[in-house]
Amino acid sequence: MSPTPPSSARVGVRFDSIDDARDRLGETGYLASDSIATTTFLADALGKPLLVEGPAGVGKTELAKAVAAATGARLIRLQCYEGVDESRALYEWNHAKQLLRITAERDSADGWDALRDNIFSDEFLLPRPLLAAIRSDEPVVLLVDELDKADVEIEGLLLEILGDFQVTVPELGTIAATHRPFVVLTSNATRELSEALRRRCLFLHIDYPSAELEQRIVTLRAPGLDEALVASVVRLVQRLRELRLRKAPSVAETVDWARTLLALGATADGDLSAELVRDNLGVLLKHQDDIERAAVALDLPAS
Ligand SMILES: Nc1ncnc2c1ncn2[C@@H]1O[C@H](COP(=O)(O)OP(=O)(O)O)[C@@H](O)[C@H]1O
Ligand SMILES: [Mg+2]
């Protein structure tokens, strides 16, 4: 019997429509813009990996988590870093355990060949995220996070795996996915990813949200803050993003800032006071020169 062609791995159609994707992501607490809902739906419908690029803190990682939560899939994450290699990404052999077995059985009657087969079996394999995602019996969302931090070689490995969703372990043979994982690759664009990888994926750029969407995100993530204050918070953050800062505040920081106001018991007696903004700017901005630049631009009083 010929092996099942890998391309027939079931493409899990998880979302019925763009609206369905938006609604179900929303139920998990992820508020998707039109472009996020559309591209997520298409990536699923076409069975293509989703490459998400954009500045830090705009909801790239969170999107993968939300897709997993919305579809009841297991999230398997490969966190990339400089030097991440095949043995960390795909699989490695458990050398310590192999050595123990060799020591225990080297005098056994079966001989070296049997021992070698034995120690290169499943029992001694340590699956890393990519192999774990391929082998999983249950539906999986595979998150390859911050791919731009990894060396370019890892892209070659990903291309192979994302091409046919199978992995060959020389000692064990070829392992093909039964469920095609929903793959999300994220990048902060600190380096260009290869054209070959881009071609394989659907591309989604997530930028800072519109004021309207950001207000809804803040209301959801920092419940209890007065509506007028939420609007002021978002207006302030959006203003700061227009300045040329080293690190513009992200959605994560907007939410932190809103929670700060809640913690301080801020009430809606008009706009945010200049003193309040000055004293808490460190929640939004993480570099002293950014804080100084913002203080000038916003005309904040000296402390
Ligand atoms: N669309 C969104 N809906 C809800 N929360 C969001 C959204 N975008 C960003 N966030 C918030 O921002 C935080 C940071 O998002 P994250 O996915 O970690 O950013 P990134 O991976 O892009 O650096 C999340 O934990 C979440 O609280
Ligand atoms: Mg992230």
Asked, for residue 103, whether it belongs to a domain, the answer is no
Distance from Cα 217 to the centre of ligand 1, integer Å: 9
Ligand 1 in contact with 255 (CB < 6 A)? Answer: yes
Q: Which residue has the tokens 């997993």?
A: 68
**Closest Cα to atom 20 of ligand 1:** 57
Specify if 286 maps to a domain. yes
Pairwise CA distance, residues 277 & 95, whole Å: 56
Whether the Cβ atoms of residue 89 and residue 130 lie closer than 8 Å to each other = yes
Same domain, yes or no, for 72 and 160? Answer: yes
* 116 found inside a domain: no
Q: Does residue 251 line the site of ligand 1, with CB under 6 A? A: yes
Say which residue the tokens 């505040």 belong to: 249
Handedness of CA 277, 280, 284, 287 (dihedral sign): positive
Task: Write down the pLDDT at residue 274.
Answer: 87
Would you state the pLDDT for residue 260? Answer: 92
Question: Is residue 221 in contact with ligand 1, taking CB distance under 6 Å?
Answer: yes
Task: Say if residue 143 is in the same domain as residue 197.
Answer: yes
Q: Is residue 111 part of a domain?
A: no
For residue 274, tell me if it sits in a domain: yes
Ligand 1 site, residue 61, Cβ cutoff 6 A: yes
Task: Give 214's contacts (C-beta < 8 A, 6+ positions apart).
Answer: 208, 234, 237, 238, 251, 254
Q: 64 C-alpha vs ligand 2 centroid, how far in Å?
A: 10
**Digitized pLDDT (tens) for each residue of the chain, 303 residues in all:** 344 444 445 556 789 999 999 999 999 999 999 999 999 999 999 999 999 999 999 999 999 999 999 999 999 999 999 999 999 999 999 999 999 988 888 777 677 888 888 899 999 999 999 999 999 999 999 999 999 999 999 999 999 898 889 999 999 999 999 889 999 999 999 999 999 999 999 999 999 999 999 999 999 999 999 999 999 999 999 999 999 899 999 999 999 999 999 998 877 665 678 888 999 999 999 999 999 999 999 999 887
My answer on whether 73 and 149 are in the same domain is: yes
> Does 141 lie in the same domain as 22?
yes
Pocket test for ligand 1, best of 62, 146, 253 (most atoms within 8 A of CB): 62
Cα gap 236→22, rounded to integer Å: 27
In a domain, 71, yes or no: yes
215 in the same domain as 160: no
Q: Which domain holds residue 140?
A: 6-90+128-205
Cα 121 to middle of ligand 2, angstroms: 35
Given 186, 205, 224, which residue is the final one in a domain?
205
Domain boundary among 205, 234, 268: 205
Q: Using CA atoms, how far apart are residues 159 and 236, in angstroms rounded to an integer?
A: 42
Indicate whether 78 and 137 sit together in one domain. yes
Element (H, E) at 51: strand 50-53
Q: What is the dihedral of CA 213, 219, 222, 228, to 10 degrees?
A: 110
pLDDT at 273: 85
The answer to whether position 1 is within a domain reads no
Answer whether 56 contacts ligand 1 (Cβ < 6 A): yes
Q: Name the domain count of the chain.
A: 2
With a 6 Å cutoff on the Cβ, whether 222 touches ligand 1 is no
64 and 144 assigned to the same domain:
yes
Q: CA 235, CA 50: separation in Å to the nearest integer?
A: 31
Query: Is residue 42 domain-shared with residue 186, that is, in the same domain?
Result: yes
Euclidean distance between CA atoms 217 and 253, whole angstroms: 12
pLDDT at 12: 61
DSSP for residue 136: -
Chain-centre distance for alpha carbon 50: 10
Q: In one letter, which amino acid is 133?
A: A
With contact defined as beta carbons under 8 Å apart, do 189 and 56 qualify? no
249 and 233 belong to one structural domain: yes
Whether 99 is covered by a domain: the verdict is no
Tell me: do 41 and 175 sit in the same domain.
yes
CATH number at residue 85: 3.40.50.300
Residues 199, 61, single domain; the answer is yes
Using alpha carbons, select from 89, 202, 75 the residue that is nearest to residue 156.
89
Of 205, 220, 236, which residue is a domain's last?
205
Residue 11 has a pLDDT of 57
Report residue 132 as tokens. 């774990």
> 69 in ligand 1 pocket by Cβ < 6 Å?
no
Which atom of ligand 1 is nearest to 255's Cα?
27
Distance between CA atoms of residues 217 and 222, nearest Å: 8
Q: What is the maximum span of the chain, computed from C-alpha positions, in angstroms?
A: 86
pLDDT for 268 equals 62
162 and 234 in a single domain? The answer is: no
